[in-house]
Amino acid sequence: MAPGTLLARITDYASRPDPYPLYARARAAGPVLRQDDGSFLVGGYHEIAALLHDPRMSADERARTTPTPYEGSRDASFLRLDDPEHHRLRTLAMRPFGPPHSPHRVDAMRGEIARITEELLAGLPADRPVDIVDDFAYPLPVIVICRLLGVPREDEPRFRAWSDALVATADIRPGEDTTEVERAGDRAGAELRQYLLDLAERRRGRPADDMLSAFVNEPDPSLRLTSQELAVTAALLLIAGHETTVNLITNGVLTLLRGPEHLRRLSREPGLLPVAVEELLRYEPPVHLRERVPLVDIEVAGTTLPAGTSVMLALASGNRDSRRFPDPDRFDPGRADNEHLGFGSGIHLCYGAPLARIEAQTALGALLPRLRTARLVEDPPPYRQNAMLRGPRHLRVRL
């Protein structure tokens, strides 16, 4: 297989259960690889880290000069904007969520997250194998993010449909015509934004203890999001707030069931759980690939990335780079010096990381006692289509 087609192989659905040998090939062929379609694939830890920190790398897809088949109408959230705009929006979005203005917001949710977890566990079906995704790992972060943002949980089916359509546009399928997917994404995005705006409007002057309320009732005009910005930001938080955590929890369960010795160790040493979740973020990260676009020609590891080309940073590959992590293909729940790329790095470092950590620690901690006698019904499980946000679609387990 030519290194110039690796990205296509990685995104091919057939590779979904185990893309890691392909990442290994990418790293062996060179940390930076030109693909046949003119894009680039970067698989080495140090190269990815350098590019994530490089202010000349744009997160804005509009910086691409290579033709894109479809010019959509989606508004960019701060996830796909550069500084200084990115910084302004992210900072405003951070005000009701984290430090310095709301330092204990996320931590204060621990109790609630634990309660939701227990409720879900209590409601698990006894008469059939449990689907860790549908019965547990998906509802948990959805309930949490709904609560945090101020979105009624009953509306879940509505935003799930929107979310699915939007997440599909975040996938890449080299060589395929994605116009229809993009169009559907645009429609879903517009509907979702309108829905969130309506919700927020109802909080104006009647603030509740949620982020939408905080956004619309910000007293300082210089710190207010425009309604367009508010809609885009809330949509990002709603989607990113659950589409990734579900994979983190599910991958966690899968990894532990594949390695009973880890289950035993974590049961013995529950204090290890936070460290084990970091290892999970390294070993089976929810986000596998991120795209960046060089604003000028940038040289990395002897290769020039031309301005305007699409550069795929294979975060999950960097996490398995033996130049950075000793014995990288081994899951080691006690691993020290674990500066993984599971949450990215640089200015776009995952906004929701503190929340995701608490959710994963709580969920896996609560599941541990039940997993000791559990068995996987099928291994590998069926995976989601998405190669960027990789995770099982179902994970059927006999508890």
DSSP SS3 for 96: coil
Q: For residue 383, what are the CA distances in angstroms to 88, 92, 251, 390?
A: 36, 36, 11, 8
Closest separation in Å from C-beta 313 to other proteins: 15
User: Least CB distance from residue 77 to other proteins, whole Å?
Assistant: 16
Q: Which residue is listed with tokens 């990442």? A: 23
Distance CA 28, CA 30 (A): 5
Which of 75, 71, 314, 37 shows the shortest CA–CA distance to 178?
71
- The tokens of 312 are what? 């795929």
How many C-beta atoms surround the C-beta of residue 158 within 10 A? 14
Q: Which is nearer to other proteins, 60 or 291 (CB)?
A: 60
| Least spacing, CB of residue 355 vs other proteins, in Å | 19
CB 73 to other proteins: min, Å: 22
How far apart CA 138 and CA 245 sit, in angstroms, is 8
Type of residue numbered 340: H
Q: Based on CB atoms, which residue is closest to other proteins, 81 or 314?
A: 81
Provide the minimum distance between the beta carbon of 111 and other proteins in the complex, in angstroms, as a whole number.
Answer: 23
Of 42 and 120, which CB lies nearer to other proteins in the complex structure? Answer: 42
Rule CB under 8 A: which residues touch other proteins?
A: 49-50, 53-56, 58, 60, 82-84, 87, 100, 294-296, 298, 307, 346-347, 349
DSSP characters over 322-381: TTTSSSTTS--TT-SS---SBTB-GGG--TTHHHHHHHHHHHHHHHHHHHTT-EESSSSP
Nearer to other proteins, 46 or 187 (CB): 46
The helix, strand and coil proportions of the chain, stated in percent and rounded to the nearest 5, come to 55, 10, 40
Nearer to other proteins, 83 or 261 (CB): 83
Q: How far is the CB of 169 from other proteins (least distance, A)?
A: 23
Compute the least distance from the CB of residue 200 to other proteins, in Å: 28
Question: What's the Cα-to-Cα distance from 179 to each of 71, 72, 168, 176, 222, rounded to whole Å?
Answer: 9, 9, 11, 9, 38
216/293 with CB nearer other proteins: 293
**Calpha distance 367→375 (Å, rounded):** 13
Q: Which CB atom, from 49 or from 192, has the smaller least distance to other proteins? A: 49
In the complex, least distance from residue 294 CB atom to other proteins, rounded to whole angstroms: 7
* Residue listed under structure tokens 């140090």: 46
Pick 208 or 296: Cβ nearer other proteins: 296
